[in-house]
Structures are given as C-alpha cells and as structure tokens.
Structure 1
C-alpha cells in the first residue's frame, strides 16, 4: 500500500515534523490539521459551540447546538453523550436518559455514557438505574484497580450510587474527568498528528486512543472519522469501520479519503459493485484525477491483492 506524500499544514508540522499521513488518506481536508479543515456544513462547529456552552454552564445553549450535531451525525456516540450531559445540567432527566441511551447503544463500553444513563434513570426513579450501577461495579471488579479506567469506574459508580441514594447531582462540567474536551484546537491537532504517526507504525489501538482525544476536541470531523474507520478496518472489525466511513461521508460526501477507504473495504468484502460506486464518486469529485481514485482503481483491478499493486 502506498504511503501518502502530502504534508500536514505548518501548524501541525510543528507538533509532528516530517510525519506523513497514513496511506490512502488524501483529500477532503486530510492533508490539513482538523482545526484548519472543515466540510461545507460543519457539525464540528456546533460541537464546539456545545462544548463551550457546557463549560460555561449554559446547558440549554449546549443542548440546542448538540441536537444539531446528533441530527446531522446520528451515529456519533460522543455527541449523544455530551447531549445527555447538557440535558442533565438543565435537569431534563427524560431528555438526558434518551440521549445517554443512544450513546450506550453506539458505544457499549463507554463508562461515562453508562454513568450518565444510570444517573438519569435514578433521577427518574427508574429501577433500571441499578442495572447501570451493576454494570459499572462488574467492570470495576474485573479491573481490580489495575486498569487505566479504574479511577473513572470508581467515580462513575459513586455518581450513580449517589443518584440512587438521592444525593444532589453535581453539574456536568464540574464532574468531568476528561481534560481533552476543553483542551483547545492545538491539543486536538497534536492528538491527531500523534494518531497519524501511530497509524503509519501500524499501532492501531494506540492510534484509536489518540483519535478519541482529537474527537473530544473537534467532535465529528470527517478526517478524524475516516482515520477511525481505517484503524478499525486494519484491526479486522469491518462493521465498526463502516460506521465511521458512513459518518464521515454523511458530513462530507466528496471526502476523498473516506470514499477511497470505504471502497477498499468493499473490495475486501467482495462487494466490487459497491467499490465501483465509490470509485465513480471519486472520479466525479476529482475531475482531473487524484491519487485516491487511482489507488481504489488498483484495488478493484487486483481485488485488493497488495502483491499485484
């Protein structure tokens, strides 16, 4: 597979001098830092508005912005989770429960989503809150205080237990243990750059962790989503990879990297008709040709066999 020769923008180069983007990335902004590239409609902008409003305790403003994000990208778990927090801050526990239910469905292992759902259920006097507490306690017991999530699991279990016991709920911005949410664009670009380097080193688990940090800052940015799909695809989870490609293309239908990668995934699955459809989209987006279209065409011609490309 080729290595993309595009260079990250000057601001990102300062954080990652000389690093090339992962193969197949290409256009649609993937040659730029996330803070400097955006699609025509940018749910990441509404995400940033929602985060700023959350930080300021303006929960209704936050929920309005984040509802637009979830409407545009309904498969984005992080946006649903933050929407749950915004509703909780405004004491709208029904809205919070619904948002957190979406987040848990989309990201079943998300500790914060389970904590938020358990808290919302407890405030609504719903006995299902105990199920969320049991889930958190089981995770903590399996962790035995030795895993990276140990502090978060304890804090989450204490939060849900307090809600079940009727303790006053702290406001979401005060209880947050995720500094990347409010870290700012420079930190987000640095996390993205780190993820790119890790992908080039085939360290996909570590790359996904850095991409989660970048997404915490930027929200559903198509470049980040595309690389999340790429990393999951390389880990062999094709279904999960597809969800990220679809999110990226819902935001930016002409995103060259997402179209190429999604087409490659279709080749790997034996869906040549689907891959040719992605190629046709690339050829439309690249009126004068582009590397992404040529790479996908080679995948289709040789059925994804790297020895023949």
Structure 2
C-alpha cells in the first residue's frame, strides 16, 4: 500500500469512528458494554437530555452510577444536565469525576471546556482543547465544537 492509499484509509477510518459515536458527546471513546441495564438507563437519559428534560434524566443517571460506579459517560451526562440546569458547581464536580475515571474522555473534556467559558475562564477551556487535540488523532466533533466556542467567546470579548 502506498502512502496516498494509507492516508486515505486512515482518514476514512477516523471519519467512520467519529461518525459512529453516541450523540451529545457522551462517549468516552473507550469500550462500553451497551447491553446491560445501567447502559439502558444511560441511553434513556441521553434521549431525555436531547429533549431538554434535564431533571427527568437525573434519576436514570444516578441509577446508572449506582450500578456502574466507574461509568465516566454517566458522570459526563450528569455534568452536562446539571450545567444546563444552571448548577455550574455541581456540573464541575461531575465533569471532574468523569475525567478522574477517564482523563481522555472526549465528551467531558469538551463540556468542561464549555463550562469554563461560561465561568469566564478561557485559559482553562484552552487546556481542555489541548487534551482533545491529543485525544482526537484524526479530529473529532468535540474538538471542533470546543474550538468554535472558544473562538466565539474571544470574538465577543
């Protein structure tokens, strides 16, 4: 295989991997066993969050964590829903817990960066962007989204 063919193959693989992840940046990018009950609750919670029913998602996310205390995706979505409810300190703690479990968690890094922008801490948001840059070998939606948010924040200043 020549260099051009290898580059195309790798680019296609990166695109397919980024296109197949769960919505709302819930994915850690790692291995998940989506068949068990805690992940069924997580999927239902993500659907509720997509419908902006953040409070309704909370019990399902808590149930997920009770069944699977190391579920970084659930902590990330708890952080996201708490941030959307205006509970920024609570969101911060959930994002940090997700990153304690998986420091390269793409969703938690993006959403924590978004939270830092809301808290007027753009330097910290840029730190999250750097982590995403290293984690997203072929680029990823989380990197692009946070980068655009940082650019919009800076433009508004």
TM bin, normalised by shorter chain, reads 0.7 to 0.9
Alpha-carbon offset, residue 249 of structure 1 = 0.7
Residues 26 and 301 (structure 1), Cα distance of their counterparts in 2 relative to 1, 3 Å cut: farther
**In the aligned structure 2, how far is the partner of 1:288 from the partner of 1:27?**
16
Kept in 1, the 8 Å contact 2:72–2:102? The answer is yes
Match of 2:33 in 1: 35
Give, in whole Å, the separation in 2 of the partners of 1:5 and 1:304. Answer: 28
Q: Is the 8 A contact 2:42 2:64 kept in 1?
A: yes
Shift in alpha-carbon separation, 1:7–1:258, aligned structure 2, 3 A: closer
Q: Which residue of 2 aligns with 1:244?
A: 94
Aligned counterpart in structure 1 of residue 110 of structure 2, from 253, 256, 260: 260
What's the counterpart of residue 25 of structure 1?
26
> Counterparts of 2:26 and 2:36 in 1: how far apart (Å)?
21
Q: Does 1:230 align with 2:112?
A: no
Q: Distance in 1 between matches of 2:145 and 2:27?
A: 10
Distance 1:223 1:26, change over 3 A: closer
Deviations 1:75-97 (A, max 9, x none): xxxxxxxxxxxxxxxxxxxxxxx
| Shift in Å, 1:250 | 1.0
The reply to whether residue 269 of structure 1 matches residue 127 of structure 2 is: no
Aligned position for 2:66: 216
Cα separation, 1, equivalents of 2:91 and 2:48: 17
User: Which ranges of structure 1 fall in alignment gaps of 5 or more residues?
Assistant: 9-20, 37-184
C-alpha distance after superposition, 1:188-214 (max 9, x if no partner): 121111101000000011101111111
Give the aligned CA root-mean-square deviation in angstroms: 2.4
Distance verdict in 2 for CA 1:221–1:207, change over 3 Å: same
Cα 1:280/1:25, change in 2 over 3 Å: same
**TM-score, normalised relative to structure 1:** 0.42
Indicate the residue corresponding to 1:301 in structure 2: 151
Alignment of 1:288 with 2:138, yes or no, is: yes
Aligned pairs for 1:103-122 within 5 A? none
Q: Larger C-alpha radius of gyration, 1 or 2?
A: 1
Of 37, 47, 53, the residue aligned with 1:197 is 47
Q: Which consecutive segments of 4 or more residues in structure 1 shift more than 6 A?
A: none
Q: How far apart are the structure 2 equivalents of 1:222 and 1:26?
A: 9
Shift of 1:289: 1.4
Q: TM-score, normalised by structure 2?
A: 0.79
Report the Cα offset of residue 28 of structure 1. Answer: 2.6
Count of paired positions = 139
CA distance in 1, matches of 2:36, 2:76: 20
